[in-house]
Every structure is written in C-alpha cells, then in structure tokens.
Structure 1
Amino acid sequence: MFRISNNLVGILNLLTFLLSIPILGGGIWLSTRATSDCEKFLDKPVIAIGVFLMVVSLAGLIGACCRVTWLLWVYLFVMFLLIVLLFCFTVFAFVVTNKGAGKVVSNAGFREYRLGDYSNWLQKRVNNDKNWRKIKSCLQDSKICDHLAKETNNQDFKQFLATSLSPLQSGCCKPPTECEFTYQSATSWTKPALINSTNPDCTKWSNEGLCYDCQSCKAGVLANIKKDWKKVAVVNIIFLIFLLVVYSVGCCAFRNKEDNGRWKGGYP
C-alpha cells in the first residue's frame, strides 16, 4: 500500500511539474516581450503560478519517491492551504457575481449594461484608476470596436439595432441609447444640440475616444467577468475534487510510511 500510494503521488506531481514548465516559460516570455500594459499585467501572476506549481510538485515528488518525511509534511500542509483557499475563492466568485444583468433595449438585438447593477466589490475594482487604465489598455489592444465597425460596415440604423453585440461592444463602442445620438456608423455618432439624459456617459462619448471611459464600458467588462468567473468557478470545483484526491493519496502515503517505520522499529 505504501509503495502504491507513493507511486501515485509521484506520478501526479510529475505531471504537475511538467505542466508548470510551459506556464513558467509563458510568464517569462511575457515579461521579456511585453509591449503594453495589458501584457505586463499578466506576466507576474503567470510566473507566480508557474513557480508555485513547480515548487509544490517538487516537494511532493521528492518527499514521496525519496521518502523524505519533512518534505511530505510541507507538501501536505501547502496542499491543505490550497484546498481551503480554492474553496473560499469559489464561494466568493459565486457571491460577487450573483448580481448584475443586461437591460433589454426596445427593438434591439443587444442589451445595455449599468455599473450600479453589479456588486459593490466589483464596482470598486473597475472604478480604481490604476486598474481601469490596465483594463482599458487591454480593450484597446483587442480592437473590439474596430472589429465591430468592419462587421457592421454599410449598415443603416435599423440593421445595426438588429445586430447582436457583446457586452463589451455594447458598453464601450457606442453611446447608451438613452443619449439619443444620431447614428452615422457603429462607432460614429452625432451628439444632439441638447442632451436630455442625466446619464454621465452621454458627455463622455466622443468619436475619437469612443466610450472606453464610460460607466457602460466598465459595466460591460463586469458582465464579461461575471460570465467568465462562473465558468472558472465550475472549473475550480473540478480542480478541487482533483486536489482532494491527491491530498488523500498523499495522506495515505504519509500514514503508511509512519506505520511502516513503527513496524520496522519493533512495535505495532
């Protein structure tokens, strides 16, 4: 049983170690080749994840295969912390993404999004100037509005209304419908002489800068985050089950090693 448990721990951690190599390599590549705030925003978390996986998997691999007791202790302790943190994050992700939904626009194939509909925690994250500057850089690098302009080229207003827009396209590439701007193209609108709406996004819109600094754009980002975090939470649950299996096998290997040592010492 001890040998089987050790072999399983060794194999699982070998796979994790191999997985950490391309993750760490990708982070280092980003840090050396990054040319925008968007890319620089990603390199440190990717490197941290890669180093963490590499160190933990090495501890489990050496502890199990070389029967180093203190490394197995460290490995099991870190695994326990990881399981607790992952469980807390999964619950947190479901809680903070519970609020928020797009508002249906009359006679339109898209929804519009309001920042106030989302949780206060998420609102604070996107309202932080430092965070938003990096997010805005990512949005501009992705050229979502340029793609929308090409996709809707030569469309009249009625055809544009029937277009299915993503939350980012709806929030960042056009002014809110209530502003009553005159349509020229998907990313070009004419402001009325008098704006009757109290929505601050109506004054922030410009044909040059679009609506990247609008509340609707931030709401569109949160709509995307909500959808992505729901998917991440499901993946986390699967990964949590995997970690529990690995942790259980590691505990068996450690307990069997202790029992094996006692029998060799001449006492049950």
Structure 2
Amino acid sequence: MAVSNNITAVLNFLALLCSIPIIGAGIWLASKPDNECIHLFRWPVALLGVLMLLVSLAGFVGAYWNKECLLAFYLFCMALLIGLLLILLVFAFVVTHPDGSYVVPGRVYKEYRLEGFSSWLRNYITNSGNWNKIRTCLAQSDVCSQLSQNYITADQFFMAHISPLQSGCCKPPTICNYGYVNPTLWMNPTNPTADSDCYAWSNDQSQLCYGCNSCKAGLLGNLRKEWRRANVILIVAVVVLIWVYLIACSAFKNAQTEDLFRRYKQGWA
C-alpha cells in the first residue's frame, strides 16, 4: 500500500473518532426533555454524526485496500457533511445568541422573557399548533415533579439552580408574589395583575404554568443553554475534521500521482 494511502487511512480513522463525540452530543441533546418535545431539534446532530461515522469508515476501507472510487466518494461526502455541520453550527449560534433571562432579587435562579430571544426561534416555538403539542408533551414529563422531590422549604427552593424550563413552567412569575407552599404549589398572590401569567398559573399539577409566556421563554432558555454547550463539542470536532479533510485531499492527490508514476515506469519497463 502506498505511503499516501497509509496516511489517508490514518486520517480517516481520526475522522471516524471525531464522529463519536458528535454522535454523543446529538444523543445528549435528544435525551433532554425539551428536545424530546421539539422534533425539529431532536436528531439532526446525531444523524450527522452517524453519517460521518459511515463515510469515514468507507474512506478508511478505500484507503486501506486502495479503492480510488471509494476514496473519491469519501472526499465528496465528507465535504458535504462538513458543510452541513458548519451550516448547523452557524444557525444554532445565530438563533441562540440573544439571551432572554433576567435576574430576580432574592433568587438564585433566573426568569425569562420571550422578547429576549431570536424572532425565528420564538415564532417557531410559540406557533399555536407547535406549542399545543409541546405543552402536552411537557406536562407529561417529570420536569416539574422533580422539584417537589428535591426541595422542601422556600429558602431551599429560592437558592436552587433550577433549569430555565423549570423556572418558567413549574412556578408562577415572582412578580405575581404568590405565597410559597412547595415548588409546584403557590397560593394567594398579592400582585395578581402584574403580569398576564399571574392569571394563567394553576395549582392543578397537569396545568401549572404550561400555558404561560414564561414557560415558552423558559423552554427557549433551556434550548439556548443546551445548544451552547453542544456547540463547544461540535466546534472542536469540525475544526479537527476540516484539518483531517484537507490533509486527506492532499494525500489522495499524492496517491494518484504515485500511481501514475508507477504505471509510467511499468510502461517503459
């Protein structure tokens, strides 16, 4: 096997390894309760990772057994997949760039406003058809029931680092000034007209604040937080993949040159 093919095989193996954290990040995102309820955002990263794994494997086989057609297929498909991953990264960064959170005095957790998030993401989530399905899905999850298991007193809850989704959906907005009973049970607001969400709150455990704007904003806050974390892994992986791909292209050209030179020598022998 030519030296260039050896290099290409090693590089394809590195690309194969790079696909593993991408798949892991995709599975991690898909496992989150908010992404479970939003099918558009659930599997694209994991799917890209699996495709990269298969393409890298094809490239490795092509380089190891000197199959030029398979190597050319690998280079074409990998360029396409890297381009798609870059588009996904840019899109995720743009739509998650605004931060709709604000600090609440006397609370460790933050609360969230819809107006603070990107218009595209906000419109997609708050679309009545989408939100009705998302709301039903969230109400059937254990997002809020976990709070009552983890926190008992008001001081414990107010000092808790709860998720944006829990902050928006599982309790009424602080501005309503409801009286704390437990994390998902609140009574007698002293400022019930401060926000429309004050009226939307219900102590019915299947309702809570799932109909509130704060719940929609909390969902967006959760998505932003999770995709920002996943983006760190994806950025590192795509930088390595681009580096590997450029070297693989050079090695592929060198392998073709070596093959032409070998045939030329055989022709004169």
Q: Percent identity?
A: 39
Q: Give per-residue Cα distances to partners, 1:81-134, cap 9 Å, x unaligned.
A: 222222233233222222124222223332211111111121023213454455
Secondary structure at the residue paired with 1:224?
A: helix
Coordinate RMSD, CA, aligned: 3.4
Return the offset for 1:187: 1.0
In structure 2, give the amino acid aligned to 1:97: T
Paired residues of 2:48 and 2:85 also in contact (CA < 8 A): no
In structure 2, relative to structure 1, the CA distance for the partners of 1:40 and 1:172 (3 Å cut) is: closer
Alignment of 1:10-25 (within 5 A): 11-12=13-14, 15=17
In structure 1, give the amino acid aligned to 2:146: H
Return the offset for 1:190: 2.7
Tell me, in whole angstroms, the C-alpha distance in 2 between the residues paired with 1:237 and 1:14: 16
Paired residues of 2:12 and 2:57 also in contact (CA < 8 A): no
Query: Residue 183 of structure 2: which of 182, 186, 189 is its match?
Result: 186
Tell me, in whole angstroms, the C-alpha distance in 2 between the residues paired with 1:45 and 1:118: 22
1:205 aligns with 2:204: no
| Residue segments in structure 2 that go unaligned for 5+ positions in a row | none
In structure 2, give the amino acid aligned to 1:152: Y
Return the offset for 1:239: 0.5
Structure 2 length normalisation: TM-score? 0.77
Tell me, in whole angstroms, the C-alpha distance in 2 between the residues paired with 1:96 and 1:87: 14
Tell me, in whole angstroms, the C-alpha distance in 1 between the residues paired with 2:171 and 2:102: 15
Q: Give per-residue Cα distances to partners, 1:1-39, cap 9 Å, x unaligned.
A: 32432331453366579x59x98xx9xxx9xxxxxx948
In structure 1, give the amino acid aligned to 2:87: C
Return the offset for 1:70: 2.4
Return the offset for 1:171: 0.7
Return the offset for 1:63: 2.1
Tell me, in whole angstroms, the C-alpha distance in 1 between the residues paired with 2:79 and 2:45: 22
Structure 1 length normalisation: TM-score? 0.77
Alignment of 1:1-268 (within 5 A): 1-9=3-11, 11-12=13-14, 15=17, 38=36, 41=39, 45=44, 48-49=47-48, 52-129=51-128, 131-133=130-132, 135-136=134-135, 139-140=138-139, 142-153=141-152, 155-156=153-154, 160-190=157-187, 192=189, 195-197=192-194, 199-208=195-204, 209-266=207-264
Q: Give per-residue Cα distances to partners, 1:46-101, cap 9 Å, x unaligned.
A: 88446523531343123212322222222111211222222233233222222124
Tell me, in whole angstroms, the C-alpha distance in 1 between the residues paired with 2:56 and 2:157: 52
Instruction: Report how many residues are paired.
Output: 251
Secondary structure at the residue paired with 1:165?
A: coil
| Residue segments in structure 1 that go unaligned for 5+ positions in a row | 31-36
Paired residues of 1:109 and 1:164 also in contact (CA < 8 A): yes
In structure 2, relative to structure 1, the CA distance for the partners of 1:87 and 1:51 (3 Å cut) is: closer
In structure 1, give the amino acid aligned to 2:228: K
In structure 2, give the amino acid aligned to 1:201: D
State which drifts further: 122-131 or 67-76.
122-131
Paired residues of 2:5 and 2:64 also in contact (CA < 8 A): no
In structure 1, give the amino acid aligned to 2:89: T
In structure 2, relative to structure 1, the CA distance for the partners of 1:112 and 1:11 (3 Å cut) is: closer
Tell me, in whole angstroms, the C-alpha distance in 2 between the residues paired with 1:70 and 1:112: 55
